[in-house]
Structure 1
Amino acid sequence: MGGINTRRQVELTHEDVHAGEYGTRAQCLPEPWMCEVFHLDGSLRDIRVLDVTRVEWIAVLERLRVVADETEVEHPYPRLDSVRPAFADLFRIWADESEDQGTSFAFRARFGAVWFFALPCDEEEIEFSVWPEDVLDGAGVSAVLRFLVEVATASQRPALLTAEVVRYDPGLRTLLSHDPVTGRTSHI
């Protein structure tokens, strides 16, 4: 499985946590201590991808629609399909609205028993949140790891799990990360 590097991070290989394109099950059951990152302070945890464009957002949402156990979309745009709108259309309409209208859309994806949700408010930062109480055991951590890998892979950028904040700060501690270039998922 993974080894421990000199920075005292546990690294898991991509194959250990990724369910893959062909539906193979994840091979690794995370260590129980990994649940601790979700209960340090009881706040939401955010999964972020930085420095993105609408293209990466759409790629991530389309990928999640395919691989998640269940997805839901809510939006206020009557001219779009109410259940399965095209993400390119959602972003186009959303971006064309004036900022004072305050409308957006919501996207939720379920992996196992864990729900991840996004309320896009910034095209330059993908952000999903997860409730700590949904991540109680190894199966919950596996769901988070799989989600992290799917988001990073679809965006082709590192995905970071952090405590909840309104806007990412480079000084913010990263709890888990996945780099799609190296295929490594790190627990810090």
Structure 2
Amino acid sequence: MGETNARGRGELTHEDVHAGEHSTRARCLPEPWMCDVFHLDGSLRDIRVLDTTRVEWIAVLERLRVAADETEVEHPYPQLDPVHPAFTDLFRVWADDPEGQGTSFSFRARFGTVWFFALPCDEEEIEFSVWPEDVLDGAGVTAVLRFLVEVATASQRRALLTGEVVRYDPAMPTLISHDPVTGLTSHI
């Protein structure tokens, strides 16, 4: 069944993923549509919130710091706390300070066994990435859905799970979304 990748995790071929729900080679996701969403194709899946500002970014990161099972922040700014910097300070130094521009910081949050990570590039679009190979079963799917809801709730905007791209394109299919206004989560 598959091979081991550089991260030491098992990789499944397309045939392994779509071998059927009763095959011993089948990926153990509870619903057939999940195999399409989390198909192992070598690319990440992105969780996005569009048309945001620094205020939404900070609200999302602060909520995730509380709601996640574990978080990590890495940054190159010696004037800030190395382990637990204030997000307002991170954004101020990154976006407003001429010495901070050109560098960024990273944020990771773990829900269950699934890690989500962000490298903020701009304030206008929140983007987190997740490896589909980390979403192996119902618990992994639950972690993704929980993360999506937390991001949407904190930003008070619709959160989208999409394929990996540099910038969002409205023509791109949304795989899963959560609307905090209606409280509805939908999938392809």
Deviations 1:102-142 (A, max 9, x none): 20000000000000000001100000000011011111000
Q: CA deviation at 1:96?
A: 1.6
Pair 1:59 & 2:72 matched: no
Could you tell me the TM-score, scaled by structure 2's length? 0.81
Q: How does 1:115-130 map to 2 (within 5 A)?
A: 115-130=115-130
Residues 77, 100 of structure 2: 8 Å contact kept: no
1:102 aligned residue: 102
What letter matches 1:141 in structure 2? V
| Identity in percent | 87
Could you tell me the TM-score, scaled by structure 1's length? 0.81
Note closer, same or farther for the CA distance 1:58–1:36 as it changes in structure 2 (3 Å cut). Answer: same
Note closer, same or farther for the CA distance 1:66–1:131 as it changes in structure 2 (3 Å cut). Answer: same
Aligned-partner Cα distance in 2 for 1:179–1:37 = 18
Residues 94, 101 of structure 2: 8 Å contact kept: no
Highest CA radius of gyration, 1 or 2?
2
Q: Unpaired segments of 5 or more residues in structure 1?
A: 1-28
Q: CA deviation at 1:97?
A: 3.9
Residues 35, 135 of structure 1: 8 Å contact kept: no
1:84 aligned residue: 84
Deviating more after overlay: 91-100 vs 111-120: 91-100
Residues 94, 100 of structure 2: 8 Å contact kept: no
1:3 aligned residue: none
Note closer, same or farther for the CA distance 1:168–1:99 as it changes in structure 2 (3 Å cut). Answer: farther
Aligned-partner Cα distance in 1 for 2:49–2:113 = 23
Q: RCO (CA 8 Å, sep 6+): is it higher in 1 or 2?
A: 1
1:24 aligned residue: none
Number of aligned pairs?
160
Pair 1:34 & 2:34 matched: yes
